[in-house]
Structure 1
């Protein structure tokens, strides 16, 4: 039997039972297939709801049912391993015309998938804070930070941290009217979410791209570098720190602008 036909019918209740499908006794498997199809669909829908709880709450039960059914039909799991199921759920939501008025919703889904990635990321050996203290002040500007694999940064024009909190807890404060990027760390076993300012998010973006501390501060001059470093160290979000060697420059005798 064509596997594509089988998979399409399995994830779409509107499709007929594939021709020639029989049970273990050689009888037409119509009823058994319908039961199996329903079980698979419910399991995948439940997996989406578990992975995207705030997204599901914001959509409401009926709308989430419709959205998840459409997503399952157009983006079936690529592997029996469900660890990364839902990787393009945010982009799928963003493409639905009826949801355009909920501009924050794709970013909430992106945030929830990033939490999932952080949880399943490889472990990293946390940087000893003493390493930072040992670097001479004049060399600190040339330092580059290495981040733990579990660290995730979600930038958004919406207050996504507060929106997610409100969706999961009706007693949470109302979201502010300003952007709220989110840093995700994993100091122990579970991811921890930290709401940020735009400037701090810009600073982290620069540092994650490999910029030295000095160059990163040029991109985000209003960010509090000391406060950010304290947070990253406390959350075991850094694994190493490297200081750029002046002799690695093509013209080492020229003044530095880093």
Structure 2
């Protein structure tokens, strides 16, 4: 292992000794100085996770979260200088973290919170004017060739748990009482202006939007998706400025 790799590994593993060759300019014990530095690095990474996953923190409590995040930090060093990228795999870690098994929806709540971070930092895109969209949709003959480009921040999550309701309850400082936690939900996450928004949509709407993201035409997506309210779904996408381009892919004979 190189000196750099040895130093990096020791930063995240409190069981490792201070790397060889470190010196302190003021004569202090290098091992003591390194221990302080290691604690600061680990604390900053745990704090970054707490900032990205505030509802997960609320669900399990600060003490449990910091202990869980500490284990994650030791096995998952940062791969990018951008701290908003850190913790992209935290939900998968939670799913395999045995002490969190008593909160079965925790990993999916983390996935929802990760999509919010992604949406916040996604590229900007100018939405189409509502009048342009209405004019394009007014011609039923064109729907089979019309494809929709959606805002880069838009993502979907399907969960076996009531993740949107759980997340929403923690935005209003209410309890989970009255929520059927095992009632699966489909989430739509997007950034509208500067605000990241979360909506619960039905299975058919989620499938329809996924088909649109995959490049299928409006008619193809409508025919492939389970039954849903098309007007309501399009109204949601239009009102939240989620449609950025419409492409007519008609091929001339």
Superposed CA deviations along residues 59-85 of structure 1, whole A, max 9, x for unmatched, are 222321221111111101112221211
Partner Cα separation in structure 1 for residue 41 and residue 145 of structure 2 = 54
For residue 38 of structure 2, what is the aligned residue in structure 1?
Answer: 37
For residue 187 of structure 2, what is the aligned residue in structure 1?
Answer: 182
Pairwise CA distance, 1:167? 4.0
For residue 224 of structure 2, what is the aligned residue in structure 1?
Answer: 219
Partner Cα separation in structure 1 for residue 187 and residue 25 of structure 2 = 52
Q: Using the TM superposition, name which of 91-100 and 236-245 deviates more.
A: 91-100
For residue 203 of structure 2, what is the aligned residue in structure 1?
Answer: 198
Alignment equivalent of 2:153, drawn from 150, 153, 160: 150
For residue 131 of structure 1, what is the aligned residue in structure 2?
Answer: 132
Superposed CA deviations along residues 117-176 of structure 1, whole A, max 9, x for unmatched, are 100011001012222222322212332110111112112121101112234544256323
For residue 144 of structure 2, what is the aligned residue in structure 1?
Answer: 141
- Could you say what secondary structure the match of 2:199 adopts? strand
Partner Cα separation in structure 1 for residue 6 and residue 198 of structure 2 = 42
For residue 104 of structure 1, what is the aligned residue in structure 2?
Answer: 105
- Flag the 1:172–1:225 CA change in 2: closer, same or farther, 3 A: farther
Pairwise CA distance, 1:101? 3.9
Superposed CA deviations along residues 11-61 of structure 1, whole A, max 9, x for unmatched, are 222322222211124654122111111111111111100100111222222
- In the TM superposition, 1:25-174 aligns within 5 A as 25=26, 28-135=29-136, 136-171=139-174, 174=178
Matched, 1:17 2:22: no
Q: Is the 8 A contact 1:146 1:239 kept in 2?
A: yes
Q: Is the 8 A contact 1:159 1:180 kept in 2?
A: yes
RMSD of aligned residue pairs (Cα, Å): 1.9
